[in-house]
Chains A and B, each alone.
Chain A
Amino acid sequence: MICGENAAQKGRETVKKLVSTAFASFALFCLSTAALAAPPIKIGALFAVTGPASFLGEPERNTAQMVVDEINKAGGVKGRKLELITYDTGGDATKAVQLANKLVKNDQVVAIIGPSTTGDSMAIIPVVEKAQIPLISCAAGSKITEPVKKWVFKTAQNDGLAVARIFEQLKKEKKTKVAILTVSDGFGASGREQLKAQAAHYGIQILSDDTYGPKDTDMTAQLAKIRGSQAQALICWGTNPGPAVIARNAKQLGLTIPVYMSHGVSSKKFIELAGDAAEGIRLPSGKVLVADLLPKNDKQRNSLLAFIKDYQNHFKAEGDHFGGHAWDAVMLLKGAIEKGGDTPAGIRNALESTRNFAGIGGVFSYSAKDHAGLTKDAFTLVEVRKKDWVLVK
């Protein structure tokens, strides 16, 4: 069988060579006549559009498609259109791997953006590394780019940066004892890991460490326990609807300590779900939430306002920072193709040399040592006041 494969491969390679020479001469001929008739550049996208992570995947898919359409409307990249091939992973690692293979082998894309979740991203990393196709993940887990993998980049801010932002504030307020309550899925687990790892560095002591299930409907038990402890603040790490339930339960129990949430709920949806109970809750957020409150000289301002306006026009909804991850990924890719050409290797090298790209998630500067590209300035601390966000000074 294996010998047969080798022989077949050799045969195929000869054919491939012939075809590619023919193609090259043909392409030369075409190029001289009409540049616009060049075939589109194929980009793959994997998002968890359905399943438990659809709150990430849906805005990401919408945004990616929107940005690609806008780019094509404006004439494409160096005169060539982009073609976005999107598949839905459903948040399932096995499916993500199959689909990554499909993008690489059948669709022959030059780069992949997504997946939405850390799990899916970790699952397909071996596939893209082997196929040598650049991947720009939209998931937050820091282990995606730590240690650095040659072909893997990411746009979502590392959880660690959000944790650092919260701890900094607590240190400023001289609060040293906290309770943490995290959701038992990939997002919560990653947050919990970072919270525990960084606490000592800021001189903070974690008094109680509890979790809740993603589909739980009542967290009063955990909160009653926390109420009974000496904690001076509660940090809760999760995505809707869990944190909204926690906010309501905390109000029910009359919990008086300040509550910090994660960037996982930084959208109006959280305020809508938690209602009055959201009042006074603080969270680290990407700047998209407070774009109109930013000073005029903020580097990201133009990108943010453009994204918000486009999203409003296309979907009649508020663009959130999840969609922003896809916006950043497509725009970074566009820049890389302009600079490095349309080969996977060219794109990768151009991505790695990207500096000071002001996107939605922050100002990206990739390097050979850093494929996440952001600093903790990517987060601002906001507070809910009168059903809206204000900046915490």
Chain B
Amino acid sequence: MELLNQVTQFVISGLATGAIYALIGLSFAIIFNSTGIINFAQGEFVMLGGVLTIFSLNVLHLPLVAAIVVAVAVTTIIGLVFERLAIRPLKNATPLALIIITIGASILIRGLVMLLWGKDTQALPAFSGTDPISIAGATLLPQHLWIFGVTILVIVGCRLFFNHTISGKAMRACSFNRRAANLVGISVGRMVLFSFVISAAVGSLAGVIIAPLTMTAYDVGVMLGLKGFCAAIMGGMGSGLGTVLGGLILGTLESLGAGLISSGYKDAIAFFILLLILFIRPQGLFKKGETERV
């Protein structure tokens, strides 16, 4: 009975952490799907969301909702500027050059935040209290519900956007075949810009809603970005359910690994399973295989 209780708690905690990874994974996938770029600065968008909210709240003395809006808006603008200054000037860049540039950008953003707001970890107050909620013998915090809620909203939003709007369809067209998209009159450049804007917004939103739980500092982006990337890969880099499942699986694996096997090796266990998935199903868990174009 005790063990059963524990396992329920492991799974519930794992799902909660997994939802965070899923949300970040989605923001990775949005850029990748319309540009083929893996944005290593994605974690920094997440960090910016949290740090900017706390700044608006404590220094500008805005109410919470306004602070969140400001944080997401500013991060989105940063995403836009980043695309304009660092991605756009590169014509026909190799994927590798793009990886390096985004790594450079992540270092830059991290450095700027460190100088502007210092190195201290800060906490955001929980949106709706800290009284634990009990589910089948396991407990959750109200903030976890916020995370689940926002994740669901973002998935639904993405689905509607990519399947039912002109811009969304155009962005998908770019990911399938850039040249063909260009030929039918889609401005590929604008779609790339778009994807950075949306991705920065989703990433920063993730950063805002997790800040009350995980706290935030200039350097939280690296690990969160890595885990989000992991989730996206498990889901086959799609911007839908696959990535979300990838995130949830990753979170649950980590939590079960920590609780049942060894807390020290929990990340190693998660990465080991990721490797196995890659070896057996390199196209991700939930995608059909593709043949390579020559």
Contacts and interface: CB of A to CB of B under 8 A. Distances in A.
A–B contact, 8 Å CB criterion (strictly below): yes
Interface of A: 50, 52, 54-55, 58, 184, 210-213, 215, 217-218, 220-222, 224-225, 227-228, 240-241, 244-245, 248, 251-254, 269, 272-273, 275-277
Given A221-B13, A228-B6, A244-B215, A252 B139 contact: yes
B255 A215 contact: no
A253 B215 contact: no
B264 A253 contact: no
A88 to B, nearest CB: 12
Contacts of B264: 184, 210-211
Contacts of B132: 251-254
A221 B10 contact: yes
Interface of A is mostly: helix
Interface string B8-49: 011001101100100000000000000000000000000000
Contacts of A273: 121-123, 215
Contact of A218 (B119, B121, B130, B214): B214
Contact of A211 (B5, B20, B120, B263): B263
Contacts of B17: 217-218
Contacts of B220: 215
Given A220-B13, A241-B121, A225 B213 contact: no
B2 interface: yes
Contacts of A244: 121, 123, 215
A272 B123 contact: yes
A228 B3 CA distance: 8
Contacts of A212: 258, 263
Given A210-B263, A218-B13, A221-B255, 10 more contacts: A210-B264, A212-B258, A218-B214, A221-B14, A245-B214, A251-B132, A252-B132, A252-B140, A252-B141, A254-B132
29 contacts: A50-B114, A54-B119, A211-B263, A211-B264, A212-B258, A213-B266, A217-B213, A218-B13, A218-B213, A220-B10, A220-B255, A221-B13, A221-B14, A221-B255, A221-B263, A221-B266, A222-B263, A224-B10, A224-B13, A225-B6, A240-B121, A248-B130, A251-B132, A252-B139, A252-B140, A253-B139, A254-B132, A275-B123, A276-B130
Contacts of B192: none
Nearest to B121: A241
A224 B6 CA distance: 6
Interface of B: 2-3, 5-6, 9-10, 13-14, 16-17, 20, 114, 119-123, 130, 132, 139-141, 210, 213-215, 217, 219-220, 222-224, 254-256, 258-259, 263-264, 266-267
A235 B17 CA distance: 24
Contacts of A55: 119-120
Contacts of A225: 6, 259
A58 B5 CA distance: 44
Cβ-closest 10 pairs across A and B:
A217-B214, A221-B259, A221-B258, A220-B13, A215-B223, A224-B9, A241-B121, A210-B263, A211-B264, A221-B255
A264 to B, nearest CB: 13
A228 B2 contact: yes
Nearest to B122: A273
A241 B13 contact: no
Contacts of B14: 221
Contacts of B20: 217
B217 to A, nearest CB: 7
Nearest to B11: A221
Contacts of A224: 6, 9-10, 13, 259
Nearest to A215: B223
A217 B119 contact: no
Contacts of B10: 220-221, 224
Contacts of A253: 9, 132, 139
A253 to B, nearest CB: 6
B114 A269 contact: no
A269 B122 CA distance: 9
Contacts of A245: 214-215
A276 to B, nearest CB: 7
Contacts of B130: 248, 251-252, 275-277
B124 to A, nearest CB: 11
A50 B9 CA distance: 37
Nearest to B114: A50
B219 A218 contact: no
A251 B20 CA distance: 21
Given A245-B214, A254-B132, A269 B120 contact: yes
A184 B256 CA distance: 18
A218 B123 contact: no
